[in-house]
Amino acid sequence: MNPKFRSIALWLIPCVIILLIGWQILTASSSNTSQSSKASLTSPNAAVSRMSYGRFIDYIDSGRVTSVDIFSGGRNAIVEAVDPDLDNRIQKIRVDLPGLTPELVTKLKTEGISFDVHPERQTPQSIGFLGNLIFPAFLILGLVFLARRSNSMPGGPGQAMQFGKTKARFAMEAETGVMFDDVAGVEEAKQDLEEVVTFLKQPERFTSVGAEIPKGVLLVGPPGTGKTLLAKAIAGEAGVPFFSLSGSEFVEMFVGVGASRVRDLFKRAKENSPCLIFIDEIDAVGRQRGAGIGGGNDEREQTLNQLLTEMDGFEGNSGIIIIAATNRPDVLDSALLRPGRFDRQVSVDAPDIKGRLSILKVHSKNKKVDKTLSLENIARRTPGFTGADLANLLNEAAILTARRRKESIGLSEIDDAVDRIIAGMEGQPLTDGRSKKLIAYHEIGHALIGSLLKDHDPVQKVTLIPRGQAKGLTWFSPDEDQMLVSRAQLKARIMGALGGRAAEDVVFGRGEVTTGAGGDIQQVASMARQMVTRFGMSRLGPISLENDSQEVFIGRDLMTRSDISDSISQQIDEQVRKIVKECYEATYKIVSENREAIDCLVDLLIEKETITGEELIKVLEKYTDIPKKYRTESIFSK
């Protein structure tokens, strides 16, 4: 039946029942109109006064009763009696009887009193039947309606028998629209995954030399690097049945559901082998067992146990390749990562400059880009950006282009999009002259140190336009991707971060420094402490004194234990203070020596609100030696 007509019928049936009941009531009331009108004249409620049963018998014996009308099966009566106190007038009196007894009837006949017995009004049989039927009918209709509504809702009561079934999306040939040519910037990962596709398409190439198909491939990398995109490309290239689901879809609030879903998933996969199974965010179900306060989640652990058994248990699962993705490999159970389960771990890292350029080329195909815009310059300016970041960058630039009613994406739109992604939305320009001047000195202090130190990243631009929580910003951009950072570079970065506070100190005095350097100081403390405790760049020697913090849910200890003594902790604090103090003194000295250049740059920045790195260098060339004259290691003792 058409769902539309079925829903109409569900509402029409009770309406018809109500109409039938109403019709029966009307017909019954019309047939009893005369009886009702007649009875109303002699009804029990028409009596003026009441009389007890004993006095009623006395009235009969004394001959005062003239007639009796009995109602309600002998429970009530209306008596017409002569009252001598009212000049022997006839009065109607109500009497409550014990019942229509034979003795009363005999007594009335003996005394010659006329009496009449009025039967109770009977409801028609059809109305009684429908009245008894209406409540069960409504109850049944309500249950049917709720059942149909539950069936249309995922996980509703109507689908109670479906809890143990897998929620994986299945496709005989996944048409994702993504191929390996559409994935850029992760060439090493693509090469490993192309072999998996070849395993499925031409297994004889590998089995002829004794190679076995890998059972699992784990994609590991930070968010946005393209792990899910690679899985879509595998699905598009392989041409075999493809199952895709998230790790969180295994676990429910009911015990045993997750393990049942794992069994059902692999059962369906074996029926369609060779096939691929993609599990996104596998850390949702694959976390280390026995972890957390008071043990782990039993339901999640049983789900993981079933997954381990299905991947490489007693029966095995030939012809099924599992691809999983996670950005938290450190929390995964060791049994899940052993050979025989996830045989390969493919690292999908943030792309280098060549990878970023290829990603930009892919995402710029469907966008109108100005011919003068250099994608290579954009790639050089965006170190650390992932594939998702670059796609978002071009999309934000396209939105700005449409908002400004331009025909193509230009350099200004790219610059604004980069600034918005990194620092936040642009705020209103500053109007307070004193605050504007103070922020200008602070930002020029950062820019001066970054331009004069040989080991510091070059300045890209300085601006007084607020973005996000920052009232002003100084942008640095490295010349190339830095995989390793030297001790001199770390100290240069500490001095660059302290440049703003040093400029406030030199220009306005120690008593007028502001809270604007709060974020810079936190960054300085973090870098200096890592130099001492993790990188061995202090007088304590090349010793790692602090491990990465372990969170409670990973297991083992409720509280992290320190492996160092109190005396070593004190020495760590002393070395951190020593590094920061030396860097600040060197920064203060550089700012003091270049005070004239700082004043000139501040006037230019207040006038233009934004100056580029080239404009900054041109001004500095008039006051100091450029290229950069200071080398970090020569400024303070090692």
Reading the block at residue 85, the tokens are: 């106190």
- Write b or e for each residue in 291-300: b if 16 or more Cβ atoms lie within 10 A of its Cβ, otherwise e: beeeebbebb
Strand 473-476: give its sheet, edge to edge: 473-476, 459-463, 610-612
Specify which residues 71 forms β-bridges with.
76
CA distances 367 to 360, 420, 562, Å, are: 11, 20, 54
With 0-12 CB in 10 A as exposed, 13-18 as middle and 19+ as buried, what is 20? middle
Dist CA 196 CA 55 (whole Å): 109
Bin 290: left if φ > 0, else alpha if -120 < ψ < 50, else beta.
left
Residue 182 · residue 387 · CB < 8 Å: no
Residue 218's H or E segment, with its range, is strand 216-220
Reading the block at residue 589, the tokens are: 């000295």
State the alpha helices, DSSP H only, in 86-201. 102-111, 125-151, 187-201
Dist CA 479 CA 477 (whole Å): 7
Task: Tally the C-alpha atoms within 13 A of residue 227's C-alpha that lie toward its C-beta.
Answer: 25
Dist CA 357 CA 505 (whole Å): 43
Dist CA 147 CA 156 (whole Å): 9
β-pairing verdict for 275-280 and 320-326: parallel
- 3-state class of 475 per DSSP? strand
Backbone angles phi, psi at 114, to 5 degrees: -75, 135
Residues, the chain:
638
End-to-end CA distance of the chain: 86
Residue 235 · residue 244 · CB < 8 Å: yes
Cβ neighbors of 472 (< 8 A, separation 6 or more) are: 439, 440, 442, 443, 462, 463, 464, 465, 466
> Does residue 443 carry a catalytic annotation?
yes
Residue 224 · residue 386 · CB < 8 Å: yes
Backbone angles phi, psi at 177, to 5 degrees: 80, 10
Residue 516 · residue 503 · CB < 8 Å: no
* Count of CB atoms situated within 10 Å of the CB of 336: 23
Catalytic residue among 443, 504, 582, 607: 443
Secondary structure, 3-state, 42-105: CCHHHCCEEECHHHHHHHHHCCCEEEEEEECCCCEEEEEEEEHHHCCEEEEEEEECCCCCHHHH
Which amino acid is it at 46?
A
- Give catalytic residue positions: 443
